Amino acid sequence: MALKDILVCLDPTEAGERRLRLAAAIAREHQAHLSASYILSEAIPGVPPYEGVGIPAPTGATEIAQGRVVAGVPLPGAPPIASPAPLSSAELADIVEQRFRAEVQPHGIEGDWHLFGSGDSEELIALSRTMDLVVFGQAASDYRLPTGFSPEDIVMACGRPMLLVPFAGEFGSGSVGRRVLIAWDGTREASRALHDALPLIALAEAVWVMTVRPRDANSDDRGPSLDRVVRHLQRHSIAATTEESIGGDIPTAELLLSRASDMGADLLVAGAYHHSQLREAIIGGVSRDLLDHMTVPILMSH
């Protein structure tokens, strides 16, 4: 299936700006429609509104906020202000919308804007269900989303592939899917993630399919259908190699992220919440660890 309808979830942070550039690059590559959603955030107790976050001022922002600080970033040429008042949530939303328009319009990308309040998580999920891909950000300590809008909430409910982008690092200089690590354990969720990733990895230069076997597994076991996965990818004109690792004291998520770094991967593909979100929240799990410690964009499906 081609990627023709993409949704990117934005916020007034530098990470949100990088996420926008990445989503726009994917939309350009796939000639896709790009929708943007903005979720009005909640205040963090004890922290002044939006302190420490900021996005570049959009072109023409001086007409909107002359002499003020735009999302924590002083405007070029604006007079210095000792104690600028923080922007309201609505003002920040307006500025992020401008940044979105400025990113898509020069490149001929069709796009639309959706604003959600703190009680509108079901509306965002309903919108996500009509998309080919949802681009979302890793949770950050300096920007709090309302209840029901966390990455795990959306990926569990929307039924669509979600590209999770780390809050640290630069991933907006180009598209993703050139060097890919696929986490494979034979589960339904891993299969969903693999097939949902096919449009993103069609032009991959290198693909690894990795499984982590229990320490007490049969050494003659080739792992859960690794060879079949490679043959399937070959039929999609995607060359792939396999890799097996033995689990043990090192968590599976750490093994995957370490290998992704070693391989110079720009995308990790993994199923989300194999058992249930509640069980993983209680006993821990690969999905939770990946979301907490991700260092590379992750394509997740549930």
pLDDT tens digit sequence for 12-35 = 888 899 999 999 999 999 999 999
49: pLDDT strictly greater than 60 = no
pLDDT for the residue numbered 178:
94
The CATH fold of domain 179-301: Rossmann fold (3.40.50)
* CATH architecture classification, 5-165: 3-Layer(aba) Sandwich (3.40)
37: pLDDT strictly greater than 80 = yes
The percent of residues above 70 in pLDDT, for the chain, comes to 74
Three-state DSSP string of the chain: CCCCEEEEEECCCHHHHHHHHHHHHHHHHHCCEEEEEEECCECCCCCCCCCCCCCCCCCCCHHHHCCCEECCEECCCCCCCCCCCCCCHHHHHHHHHHHHHHHHHHHCCCEEEEEECCCCHHHHHHHHCCCCEEEEECCECCEECCCCCCHHHHHHHHCCCEEEECCCCCCCCCCCCCEEEEECCCCHHHHHHHHHHHHHHCCCCEEEEEEEECCCCCCCCCCCCHHHHHHHHHHCCCCCEEEEEECCCCCHHHHHHHHHHHHCCCEEEEECCCCCHHHHHHHCCHHHHHHHHCCCCEEEEC
- Write down the domain spans for the chain: 5-165, 179-301
Model confidence, pTM: 0.81
pLDDT tens digit sequence for 229-275 = 999 999 999 999 999 887 777 788 888 999 999 999 999 999 876 65
72: pLDDT strictly greater than 60 = no
pLDDT for the residue numbered 216:
63
* Averaged confidence pLDDT in the chain: 80
pLDDT for the residue numbered 271:
87
pLDDT tens digit sequence for 111-144 = 999 999 888 999 999 999 999 999 999 876 556 6
* pLDDT band at residue 69 using 50, 70 and 90 as cut-offs: very low
pLDDT for the residue numbered 42:
59
63: pLDDT strictly greater than 90 = no
* pLDDT band at residue 4 using 50, 70 and 90 as cut-offs: very high
107: pLDDT strictly greater than 80 = yes
pLDDT for the residue numbered 141:
59
* pLDDT band at residue 57 using 50, 70 and 90 as cut-offs: very low
